[in-house]
Amino acid sequence: MTAERVELDEAALRAEALGPVWRRLDVLAETRSTNADLLARAEHDSIGGAVLIAEHQTAGRGRRGRNWSAVPHAQILMSVGVDVSGVPPHAWGWLPLATGVAVTDTVAALGVGVGLKWPNDVLVGGAKLAGILAEVAPGQQAVVIGVGLNVSLRADEVPLDEVASLAALGVANPDRHRIVVDLLHALGARLTAWRAAGGADPALRRDYRAHSATFGRRVRAILPGDTEIVGVARDVDDEGRLVIETGERTATVSAGDIVHLRPGE
């Protein structure tokens, strides 16, 4: 059965989602990139507590400038602005990790179990259900976090051995409105605890470790400048950096692409 694709109701979302954490919510029919839009807004306005959602995104970005493909009304394409004033910059690296945990909180209620690939992918097996991209905003103490969550993508639209969607995983007629509201509530709760702790609180650390698909695996970390580290991913540190044991040393990675290696690689 094909999942129904319904336009989001901006007024209804505002009525349920706005509050102490989220102060402004806008839904666009189409844009190039919600992250880019919020970063541009940050040049002349405060974006802390802002939520921007697009029904269709024509130039969405993943890590290292990769494209994030989009199908109208089949995904949740959302960026939020997080006021990070008062929280030490070394703790900001936990923001994409906290967002990943909020996604797991949200989809678990739909009966979907996921794994978190450090630092920004939400996986079901080896297929990507959601991607996360965090970027520091210019000119103010704020971070923009983008989330792309696949809701009703079909096999004729994307290769479902590489990309997962809630509908393809058996969620009957997933309600994007409900998912957006639940995700904003879950993320708001995680951010409130993060801010109160001045970084990762014990529950966030525990839940991230519980859902990690990276810890204990042999990985290749491709770093800026195309240098590589190969070893076993063990944990994340207080700054949200990935800790890798190479056999010769323990390395910490703050940014890079992580490849989960198969046995023998």
User: Residues with Cβ < 8 Å from 161, sequence gap 6 or more?
Assistant: 126, 127
For residues 255 and 138, state if they share a domain. Answer: no
Q: Please, are residues 81 and 48 in contact by the beta-carbon 8 Å criterion?
A: yes
Q: Residue 3 falls within a domain, yes or no? A: no
For residues 140 and 223, state if they share a domain. Answer: no
For residues 18 and 135, state if they share a domain. Answer: yes
Cα dihedral 96/99/100/103 (nearest 10): -160
Tell me the two tokens of residue 199.
Answer: 């970084």
| Residue 91 CB neighbours (<10 A) | 18
Q: What is the pTM of this model?
A: 0.93
Task: Dump pLDDT digits (tens) for 11-50.
Answer: 999 999 999 999 999 999 999 999 999 999 999 999 999 9
Q: How many domains does the chain have?
A: 2
Amino acid symbol at 42: A
For residues 199 and 223, state if they share a domain. Answer: no
Q: Residue 2 falls within a domain, yes or no? A: no
For residues 77 and 129, state if they share a domain. Answer: yes
Task: Dump pLDDT digits (tens) for 230-254.
Answer: 999 999 999 999 999 998 899 999 9
Tell me the two tokens of residue 141.
Answer: 């103490």
Q: Residue 138 falls within a domain, yes or no? A: yes
**Closest residue by Cα to residue 202 from 190, 186, 213, 214:** 190
CATH code at position 245: 2.30.30.100
- Residue range(s) defining the domain that contains residue 147: 10-210
CA distance 93 to 255: 9
For residues 128 and 227, state if they share a domain. Answer: no
What pLDDT is attached to residue 60? 57
What pLDDT is attached to residue 63? 47
